[in-house]
Amino acid sequence: MSRFDLERLSKDELIELVLRLQRPTKTSRTSSKPPSTDRKERREKAKPGGAKPGHKGHSRRLSEDVDRIVDHHPDECPCCRMPLSSDLPAEVVSEHDKVELPVIKPFVERHRRLTVRCPSCGAMVVAPAPAAAKGTPFGPRLHAVATYFKTFQALSYERLQGAFDHLFGLTISQGGACKRLRSAKLSGVAGGGGLMNMLRRAQGTFVAKRDHAVAILRQAKVVASDKTGVRIEGSNAFHWVFRCNEAVVHQASPIRGAVVIRDMMDGHRPAVWLSDRYSAQQGHAGAQQTCLAHLARDVAYADQAGEDFLPMRLKLWLQGAFTLAARIEMLAPATITARRRALERRLTAILETPTSCDLARDLQNRFRRARDQLLTFAKWPGLVDPSNNGCERALRPSVVQRKVTNGYRAMWAAAGEADIRTVVDTARIRPGTNAFEISLQTVSA
């Protein structure tokens, strides 16, 4: 805004402009911005790190899987200096583990085709080509390691290439067909391609389980969805995630329209859909639950920056809604209905309250538009969450990947990684699962 524009403003408009400039910046607590964008507190105001006074110390647990036990016996008695034999009865006083990684080197198995002369007719007979001579020279564990590093540790192709070289002595080109084993001095192995081809082969093994997760999603009664931006082939695209109680499905798409959801659900219409207020995620189920966590962040900012008490009333109302959701499985149906109606009456009173604060008015309008979607969880006790934090947690690794590697070189890479995340996140719904073990089992199948 130029000086000429400012001179044309009225007194009230100038006051409003100054008040807007004095409002605090939005943070992860008052908006959907990630915590990484928050400004760090000054060091002198930060709490000291480390254990607090009176804190009981903890030490590392002893390993349950021990490869070797070394007993340390005393050599002599400190009182009389008598030598102590190692075969004397002894008791364990303390135990200490020493943990180390062994030297990791590739295991190279060379297959040789031999020819022999038949002693009967004298013909030269050549052995048939073994299976190892066809396709890639790399085994399933090597494919699983590459998939794990690339997908779950967010390594770029360059860093992944360095990890294989520095950790295992294995040099693989990023996209070419030439590779060599430094330790075995093996070079020019035919077939298999580089890291890109290795990852593409591994990603293909996840398709069947990914289709199974999609089939489960298309039968669910309650589905949640969310999306985040991603770079694919140098252009802006989107990473979608869909969740139900038994499956998590990731989808890479160049668009963010409702057609992505319609293609994913393939005509299935769940009973309830959980999402934010984005229009493309509306109208795909019989009922809609708006993510209350999104509204809570907007309310927190208005309460911090506004001049009205209305945002505080909405904040207290949201606390009541979250409290109901936390205890809903322990309450009788009649109690749930009574508390839901009480929350609806309180919300009506808040929305009918006049206010002169533009932030408060904006909040009122947002709550009015989503009013029939705020307490849907109370009609589905234990089945519908009041917030979409599950989808946000599922999307967080994709956000990290975008920041570290700046996206994907090709659409097949984004789609393949979405398939991998689908299989692993679906398996992780059950406790005690491991991303690498799931990847290894899938690639080895």
Question: How much is the pTM?
Answer: 0.80
CA atoms within 13 A on the CB side of 165: 13
Q: pLDDT at position 201, please?
A: 93
Q: pLDDT at position 21, please?
A: 67
The arrangement of strands across the sheet holding 287-290 comes to 248-253, 235-243, 222-232, 272-275, 287-290
In the predicted model, residues of the chain with pLDDT beneath 70 are 1, 16, 19-24, 26-50, 176-193
Its CATH class, for the domain covering 210-290+388-433, is alpha beta
Q: pLDDT at position 357, please?
A: 86
Is residue 276 exposed (0-12), middle (13-18) or buried (19+ Cβ within 10 Å)?
buried
SS3 of the chain: CCHHHHHHCCHHHHHHHHHHHCCCCCCCCCCCCCHHHCCCCCHHHCCCCCCCCCCCCCCCCCCCCCCCCCCCCCCECCCCCCECCCCCCCCCCCCCCCCCCCCCCCCCCCCCCCEEECCCCCCEEECCCCHHHCCCCCCHHHHHHHHHHHHHCCCCHHHHHHHHHHHHCEEECCCCCCEEECCCCEECCCCCCCHHHHHHHHHHCCHHHHHHHHHHHCCCCEEEEEEEEEEECCEEEEEEEEECCCCEEEEEECCCCHHHHHHHHCCCCCCEEEECCCHHHCCCCCEEEECHHHHHHHHHHHHHHCCCCHHHHHHHHHHHHHHHHHHHHHCCHHHHHHHHHHHHHHHHHHHCCCCCCHHHHHHHHHHHHCHHHCCHHHHCCCCCCCCCHHHHHHHHHHHHHHHHHCCECCHHHHHHHHHHHHHHHHHCCCCCCCHHHHHHHHHHC
Q: pLDDT at position 405, please?
A: 87
Domain-by-domain residue ranges, the chain?
139-204, 210-290+388-433, 292-387
Q: Within 10 A of 435 (CB to CB), how many other CB atoms are there?
A: 20
Reported as a single tens digit per residue, the pLDDT across 51-92 is 777 777 777 888 888 999 999 999 999 999 899 888 889 999
Is the distance from CB of 351 to CB of 364 less than 8 angstroms?
Answer: yes
Q: pLDDT at position 87, please?
A: 87
Reported as a single tens digit per residue, the pLDDT across 367-412 is 999 999 999 999 999 999 999 999 999 999 999 988 888 889 899 9
The gap from C-alpha 230 to its chain's centroid, in whole angstroms, comes to 14
Which of 191, 173, 177 is closest to 133 using CA atoms? 191
